[in-house]
Chain A
């Protein structure tokens, strides 16, 4: 097999770990917000620390991103699409950092304790303000739906590269043998 230029292993591990976590969080989020069953409490208790973990990983990933040069996109892609691909990645980074911050901020503004695990909780990051709480609670939903929409487009694009165009884009993010070296 022809070798392709890949993302460094750190970026690939972070990508797939976070892809799993973020998709799980989107599904947990919309389910818990639309249930009154006993699982509501279990899911919210999971949602908070998992969301904060995503925030921390996203910051590590962003720092990591400045340490390497991403593999170039193939020249078969028109410039407009290259731009769209890069812009969508910027949007994904922005959302995976903003969304947990909004979650944390809205609980702060609503005077909810931001409970993690084992009784530990995080300090508020915003002043107590109920109008702000309501605004951020709605924003948390709209950012989640936007994030989901971009992830869907991203998934479709990744599959188009991997299955139809069969260029170097998909293997640059996977763990197939011969990658990166």
Chain B
């Protein structure tokens, strides 16, 4: 065969043909490497965000890279039927879907102390009988802080503690805010929000916009809010303690059910869907899509919320992404966080099975 190759090389154009044999696979390989981003270290990838969270909160193997401190809950969701004209998702009909959820504090530190002003979150996995599940992660702030993934990464890094002081560098944060008035504005709204005494009487917002698609194929932009049926109270004076927010939640669930209404805000033409830092006008129509009932808490250790990710793009038929760029970024980044932590040995969570058994006492 080598003889054949040598012979071919002596023919006219033979060298060129041999060059093609080598160059074609090399070109395909180069295109592959470029597509994978191995030649562009500055490309924003899920790994970039893993590094960002690491820069802010350090390394906590086995835990979620963000919203690391949390507790599992479960219960059900009863659709009211009122959202059916907007979305054909089965769970909006008059039926019950089982729910696994998680309450958490924003931030990558799994042992951070609770405090009234820290951002609290509710994550839900709604599992209707037809199997078309819906996952969401929603926060108790009025708008999101940034418009897109690149800004999220820059802002996260700007808030990273600097060596020496162990505190974020105000100059770096200031420089970011000067370039991003929308973040400055969002931070103002966040600081001005009415705090409540705990997880149980807090209000959680989707922040991101999605589309509800009905049986006729009509799409409506929506955002939504979980509004507590529990009496809303301001933080009690002098409240504190390492885990007081979680302990209060465990106490409340040990005593009885907790309920929220899923209020869907119906967007109108011109309402910004691609910008989660921009609030929609207050007077938008709200649809009471159903009631969430939570009955039980469990520690992350052994609980049903640990080995899943609340990927906001796991949507039932009848709910679709909008042009909001944040959910796709979240989907990609949560998948990486989930893969990494699934491969690591997790130390015990702050909220232990014993704490849950004692009902937060």
Chain A residues with a Cβ under 8 A of chain B: 23, 26-27, 30-41, 44, 76-78, 81, 110-113, 118-119, 121, 128, 130-131, 133-135, 137-138, 148, 152-153, 155-156, 159-160, 163-166
Contacts and interface: CB of A to CB of B under 8 A. Distances in A.
A48 B46 CA distance: 19
A38 B1 CA distance: 50
Contacts of B308: 110-111
A28 to B, nearest CB: 9
A148 B132 CA distance: 34
B116 interface: no
Contacts of B22: 156
Given A34-B46, A160-B5, 12 more contacts: A27-B32, A30-B36, A40-B328, A77-B1, A78-B1, A113-B314, A119-B316, A119-B318, A128-B307, A137-B339, A159-B21, A159-B24
Contacts of B307: 110-111, 128, 130
Interface string B1-45: 100110010000010011011101100110110011100000111
Contacts of B329: 36-37, 40
A137 B131 CA distance: 23
Contacts of A38: 321, 323, 325, 328
Contacts of A160: 5, 21
A164 B21 contact: yes
B20 A30 contact: no
Contacts of B28: 23, 152, 155
Contacts, number: 133
Contacts of A133: 338-339, 342
A26 B307 CA distance: 28
Given A155-B25, A155-B28, A164-B14, A36 B149 contact: yes
B275 interface: no
Contacts of A152: 25, 28-29
B25 A119 contact: no
B314 A163 contact: no
A36 B332 contact: yes
A37 B328 contact: yes
A148 B4 CA distance: 28
A163 B331 contact: no
Contacts of B44: 35-37
A113 B316 CA distance: 10
B317 A31 contact: no
A123 B263 CA distance: 32
Nearest to B22: A156
Interface on chain A toward B: helix, strand, loop, or mixed SS? helix
B333 interface: yes
28 contacts: A32-B332, A33-B36, A33-B46, A34-B37, A34-B43, A34-B45, A35-B37, A36-B328, A36-B329, A37-B328, A37-B329, A38-B323, A40-B328, A41-B328, A112-B311, A113-B132, A113-B133, A118-B317, A130-B307, A130-B342, A133-B342, A135-B343, A152-B25, A155-B25, A156-B21, A159-B21, A163-B21, A164-B18
Interface in B278-334: 306-309, 311, 313-314, 316-318, 321, 323, 325, 327-329, 331-333
Nearest to B29: A152
Nearest to A167: B4
Contacts of A131: 342-343
Contacts of B46: 33-34, 36
A118 B132 CA distance: 11
B343 A134 contact: yes
B144 interface: no
A44 to B, nearest CB: 8
A107 to B, nearest CB: 10
A111 B100 CA distance: 13
B49 interface: yes
Nearest to B344: A134
A28 B241 CA distance: 49
Contacts of B14: 164
Nearest to A111: B308
Q: Which of B31, B306, B321 has the most CB of A within 10 A?
A: B321
Contacts of B321: 38, 41
Nearest to B152: A36
Nearest to B9: A164
A44 B132 CA distance: 18
> Considering the complex of A and B, which 6 residue pairs feature the smallest CB-CB distances, nearest first?
A119-B317, A30-B36, A134-B343, A134-B342, A34-B37, A130-B307
Interface string B38-75: 00000111111100000000000000000000000000
Given A34-B45, A35-B45, A40 B331 contact: yes
Contacts of A32: 332
